[in-house]
């Protein structure tokens, strides 16, 4: 069977068409190579150098060391605080705050160290026996001083108003004594910082506190740990 042959002018036309397309293909290949080179250059720019990688590794290692050091320091402080609390409770008398009469200075449940020596003065926070319970109050006046409290709760000692920055609210509170009140010898006039709720020397059933009834004055808060500090 004889094969059919395309006319010669058809082959010439195809060769001519291919020659026309060759420059376009060449240009397309060059553009593609250009894009590939640009992409490689961008990768080179974005790729960190060995020096940069080394610095980043050092930074991360340093960050780990800092975190480790901080955690170790916190653990050490907690242990030291716990040991200090234990030693304090073994070596010194302690008292627990209750009833909320000393807020905001002291909070319910806080544990305080007290000392039984030293002079007691105005502003000291003392623990004393009242009946079968131990109360914690602030010394307002000492023996021989005159105490007056106006209806708004302002306190006057020997006619001079007492500055009380530890109060959140001044109040006459529960009071049945007559003013001016003269503090007897070897006694202390005491009040709680929570003037509305505190039962203290303003009531005749408590009155001024005898020196012999005082257990001691508070010096340090040892519990909770986040509020450890001088009272």
Per-residue HEC secondary structure of the chain comes to: CCCCCCCHHHHHHHHHHHHHHHHHHHHHHHHHHHHHHHHHHHHHHHCCCHHHHHHHHHHHHHHHHHHHHHHHHHHHHHHHHHHHHHHHHHHCCEEECCCCCCCCCCCCCCEEEEECCCCCCCCCEEEEEECCEEEEEEEEEECCCEEEECCCCCEEECCEECCCCCCCCCCCCCCCCCCCEECCCCEEEEECCCCCCCCCCCCCCCCCEEHHHEEEEEEEEEECHHHCEEC
Same domain, 117 and 223: yes
- pLDDT at site 79: 67
The label of the residue with tokens 């242990």 reads 79
In this model, does residue 61 exceed pLDDT 70? yes
Same domain, 107 and 220: yes
Strand partners, 160: 157
Within a domain: 77: no
| Winning range, highest mean pLDDT, from 77-81, 114-118, 189-193 | 189-193
In this model, does residue 56 exceed pLDDT 90? no
Overall domain count for the chain = 2
Q: Strand order of the sheet with strand 155-157? A: 160-161, 155-157, 146-149, 181-182
The CATH number given to whatever domain includes residue 113 is 2.10.109.10
The mean predicted confidence, pLDDT, of the chain is 82
In this model, does residue 198 exceed pLDDT 60? yes
Integer angstrom CA distances of residue 172 from 7, 136, 194, 202: 125, 19, 11, 9
In this model, does residue 22 exceed pLDDT 80? no
Same domain, 186 and 113: yes
Same domain, 204 and 107: yes
Range of the domain at 167: 94-230
Integer angstrom CA distances of residue 60 from 57, 66, 72, 99: 5, 10, 18, 51
173-184 residue pLDDT tens: 999 999 999 999
The label of the residue with tokens 């975190």 reads 67
- The fraction of the chain above a pLDDT of 90, given in percent, is 45
Same domain, 203 and 107: yes
Active site residues: 101, 137
Within a domain: 71: no
- The fraction of the chain above a pLDDT of 70, given in percent, is 73
Same domain, 104 and 23: no
* Tally of CA atoms within 13 A in the half-sphere of 211 that contains its CB: 12
Same domain, 35 and 137: no
pLDDT band, residue 47 (cuts 50/70/90): low
pTM score of the predicted model:
0.63
In this model, does residue 12 exceed pLDDT 60? no
Same domain, 117 and 54: no
């Amino acid at each position: 069977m004889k094969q059919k042959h395309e006319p010669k002018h058809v082959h010439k036309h195809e060769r001519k068409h291919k020659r026309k397309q060759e420059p376009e293909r060449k240009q397309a290949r060059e553009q593609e190579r250009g894009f590939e080179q640009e992409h490689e250059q961008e990768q080179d720019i974005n790729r960190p150098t060995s020096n940069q990688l080394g610095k980043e590794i050092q930074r991360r290692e340093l960050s780990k060391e800092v975190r480790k050091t901080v955690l170790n320091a916190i653990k050490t402080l907690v242990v030291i605080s716990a040991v200090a609390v234990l030693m304090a409770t073994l070596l010194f008398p302690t008292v627990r705050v209750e009833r909320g009469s000393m807020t905001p200075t002291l909070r319910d449940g806080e544990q305080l160290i007290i000392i039984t020596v030293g002079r007691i003065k105005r502003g000291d926070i003392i623990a004393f026996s009242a009946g079968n319970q131990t109360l914690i109050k602030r010394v307002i006046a000492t023996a021989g001083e005159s105490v007056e409290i106006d209806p708004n709760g302002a306190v006057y000692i020997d006619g001079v108003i007492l500055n009380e920055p530890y109060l959140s609210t001044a109040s006459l509170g529960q009071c049945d004594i007559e003013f001016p009140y003269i503090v007897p010898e070897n006694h202390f006039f005491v009040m709680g910082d929570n003037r509305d709720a505190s039962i203290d020397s303003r009531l005749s059933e408590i009155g001024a506190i005898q020196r012999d009834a005082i257990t001691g004055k508070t010096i340090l808060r040892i519990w909770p740990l986040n509020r450890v500090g001088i009272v």
